[in-house]
Structure 1
């Protein structure tokens, strides 16, 4: 495993260095820097079936998140950064993304920093505010520290990336990864390191624009106790089609984690963390998702569009004694100028964020669990 890390990392950086040096550069230089600042302020109302006190008072309405987006460009080099401020209970301040990029020409770019991991349907494998089950496994809208090359062709699009590690906020010799992060990553006594990603997409159809793709990732898991290195991998097939006002996203994936834990510690589950709190996830699983939406333009004062959707996810855990997890979200996104409002009914079975036992619903689970649901309204002003 150590030889894999060193040799593959060296070859990958040599490849990228040669790419930068030899690729024909057509980007025009700028005389003056360009800077743009945006952001969002969001509030959230929710009423949960498993919270008796909340039901007695008719739900809760409060602060969700404030974010700031920075985009800058000078002499062909650009910056894309987003910083979010949640409440302390949900991790406080976190950097969602922050990378520097360069366009070689109109179809090829390179990104360096905290950038989105090219895996599965992007930018999102869902339409709703809660994402799909893939997000809670670190396989939707995940961002890690590394370097990524992207080619946007008319027929084929491909992504190649190397990630040194996930977001690293603590630089001690044996410190665990901080749970105060936006996207889910392996945490606890294991750390994600030296990950390779590849994704290819075949684009076809004019009336019905289709994107058929395949994604793969392979990386190492360094254990802080044993000082040994395990590995993990993920494979996904995905398809997205947009026709008139309809959109369909379908994805099937398999994932496996093989940490070298200390004696007596289970290897059937791993710790993952985000939003200030860790939980357990089955080490090996398949995940299937299907999401569909329909846009309906309207003219109701400031309201210009309604997007109705239903997003479904099923997590099949390979260990027989573990109980599988499900998630389904039905809702509508209401667009009114710069205000976007998600109105969702999110239901989950053995889902850490939807009732039950937060710590191990995505791992051991509970065969006697019942479906729980949360009615949620997220109101955001985006500027």
Structure 2
């Protein structure tokens, strides 16, 4: 029995009434029985106390074990830091890698691989061939909103542009590309048809007359291979169809497009601007362009080039004709002056008699001769200035002539005398256009007018 418990028992006996009586007289048998009974009760109580003490001791031992384990863990961490430095280095390396990835993510967010730009444009128009417009002193209209995507992810390039006008919307181009090396690039998608002076055979907002027959800034769906070096440009391309998927493309309006394409055959009983009875489209076309460039001095250069196209015309079931075009061009630059010249010819050889080819763009149909020759001659002078936000003025005169028309109608000509003003994000064209039988200047290329029309146009664009 525990000594403490024994002392408790003895103390209890000594203080009991039975023992107190023993001091004065002898112990009787009744008293002994009473004493034994008390002893048994005390033994039972002692046993209970021992169990309680054992339970409390177990709880204290468990607490000590927890404390020891915590101490061991702390000691183990310290030991690991001393005994296993490789593990700590590994953990630090992983942390550094995570930090580096986070920094890369932040940098990528600040310098996105695909940049977004665009333009918002409005224009003022005065037309001497529109009496109502002339009487009002002209009109100021919304022109377009456009969005541009450009850049690359990895080695794959993206370039795309979409436009919203008041009256339609359309894709201008949308392609992906890859640079095989510093000279060769491949493009796949709705990409620019290589032809003539690039990027534009003009300086003005109105392009040249080539644009209105599909031979300037045209884009079709296909694949193109480009080569560039300081002396040579070379392009070869195959286009499956136009940007709307051909004659049976899934579009609501075949005349809702940015650049002119053939969309039908014009028959004798149809009007110039009517929806075509027989719809056709370009199919399986090839295009090639080569240009030789010369650096004559630090501020003097010259380029000449040749271009060609050939392809089929399809009505959705069969090929119903062929189309072809060729061009020769030259560009001479000296100091602030630029001179451009081009001669081009196109022909549609259709299987049926016709009065021309229906073309579509800007939400309306028009008609062009099935064969014609075009000439352009342009001059421009670029003048750096400092007038408030204005940093450059470009003065130009663009001249276009369309002749030798298969239908025998009068020639088309267009002369644009203008100035372009650069001021921060603003780029503004001031154009005075004099033309005859020219689309958007009161005529059509199969028109037979003798008089000229005049249009004064200011196009104000903010580019970002």
Q: TM-score, normalised by structure 1?
A: 0.85
**SS across alignment from 2:451:** coil
**1:177 offset after TM fit, Å?**
7.3
Higher strand share: 1
The runs of 5 or more residues in structure 2 that have no matched partner are: 1-103, 265-278
* Structure 2 counterpart of 1:283, from 370, 386, 402: 370
Q: In structure 2, what is the equivalent of residue 256 of structure 1?
A: 347
Partner of 1:301: 388
Matched, 1:69 2:160: no
Q: 2:188 aligns with which of 112, 116, 123?
A: 112
Match in the other structure for 2:123: 44
**Cα-to-partner distance string for 1:329-362 (whole Å, 9 max, x where unaligned):** 0000011111011000011101121114xxxx21
* 1:219 and 2:311 aligned: yes
Aligned position for 1:336: 423
The separation in 2 between residues aligned to 1:197 and 1:380, in whole angstroms, is 32
Determine whether 1:59 maps to 2:123.
no
**Alpha-carbon distance in 2 for matches of 1:316, 1:347:** 17
Counterpart of 1:152?
228
Per the TM alignment, residue 229 of structure 1 is displaced from its structure 2 partner at its CA by 2.9
Q: Shift in Å at residue 244 of structure 1? A: 0.9
Determine which of 234, 241, 266 is the counterpart of 2:332. Answer: 241
In 2, distance between residues paired with 1:81 and 1:111?
Answer: 12
| 1:324 counterpart (386, 398, 411) | 411
Which residue matches 1:369?
Answer: 450
Counterpart selection for 1:78 from 128, 132, 157 = 157
Contact 2:247–2:314 (8 Å) recurs in 1? no
Deviations 1:30-63 (A, max 9, x none): 9966120100000000000101111111100010
Which position in structure 2 is the counterpart of 1:6?
A: none
Stretch of structure 1 that moved more, 227-236 or 135-144? 227-236
TM-score w.r.t. the length of structure 2 is 0.70
In the aligned structure 1, how far is the partner of 2:156 from the partner of 2:251? 34
Q: Distance in 2 between matches of 1:37 and 1:299?
A: 29
Taking the aligned partners of 2:383 and 2:154, their CA distance within structure 1 comes to: 41
Q: Which runs of 5+ in 1 are unaligned?
A: 1-29
Aligned length: 340
In terms of fraction of residues, the more helix-rich structure is 2
Q: Distance in 2 between matches of 1:166 and 1:124?
A: 20
1:228 deviation in Å?
3.7
